[in-house]
Amino acid sequence: MITHLRIDNRLIHGQVAVGWLKYISAKAIIVCNDKVANDPIQKMALPMAARGSNVLVFTIAETLKYEKEHQDENIFVIAKFPQDALDIMKTGVKIKEINVGNAAPIAGTKYVMVTKSIAATKEDAQLYKQIAEMNGGKLTSQIMPHNETSDFMSALRKSKLL
C-alpha cells in the first residue's frame, strides 16, 4: 500500500529526505513522473539529493508495479505534479495519506500562490479537486510531519481558484 503520497514539484529536498522518510518508516522514496524517470541526468541526480536514502525514480507504470509487488511495505511516493497523483489514484491503488507539499511556481503559467509554498493554476485546482473527490473529499497540505495539516481545498477556494 502507498502509505504516503506527496505532491511536490521540487521532488527531493531536505524536508523529504530527512523528515518524511523517517516519519513514514519507508525503505525508499519513489519519485513518480514519466518525464523525470526517462531523464538519465535526473535519475542520477535525485538520489544524491536524498542524503543517502534509497531513491527509486519510476514512471507511473513502474510505481504501480512496485506497489503491487511490495504491498506489505510502507511505500512513500512523491508525485511531481497533481496529474501524476491523479493517474495513480485512477488505477484504484490504496493510498493511506495524500499531502500537497510544495509546488514552486512554473514560469509562463498563470499561477496563484495558494500558500506561501504552493503555487497553482486553475487547471491544477481542477486536478486537486478530482484528487480530493477520489479521497473522500479530503486533501491536506503539510510541509513537515511536525507541522499541523491544513485543509488544502479551503486554501484553493480562498485563493479563488475553485
Q: What is the pLDDT of residues 94-132, one digit of tens each?
A: 999 999 999 999 999 999 999 999 999 999 999 999 999
Write the pLDDT tens digit of every residue in 22-76. 899 998 999 999 999 999 999 999 988 887 788 999 999 999 999 999 999 999 9
Q: Are strands 95-102 and 150-151 parallel, antiparallel or unpaired?
A: unpaired
Task: Count the domains in the chain.
Answer: 1
pLDDT band at 16 (very low <50, low <70, confident <90, very high): confident
Instruction: Give the active site residue among 4, 13, 70, 146.
Output: 13
* Annotation marks residue 146 as catalytic: no
pTM, entire model: 0.94
Give the CATH number, domain containing residue 131.
3.40.35.10
Decide if 70 contacts 5 (C-beta within 8 A): no
Separation of CA 82 from chain center? 7
Range of the domain at 21: 2-158
Sorted by sequence, the CB contacts under 8 Å of residue 160 that are 6+ apart come out as 112
Grid cell in block for residue 95 = 493510498
Distance, in Å, from the CA atom of 6 to the CA atom of 2, rounded to the nearest integer, reads 10
- Residue 44 and residue 36: Cα distance in Å, rounded? 11
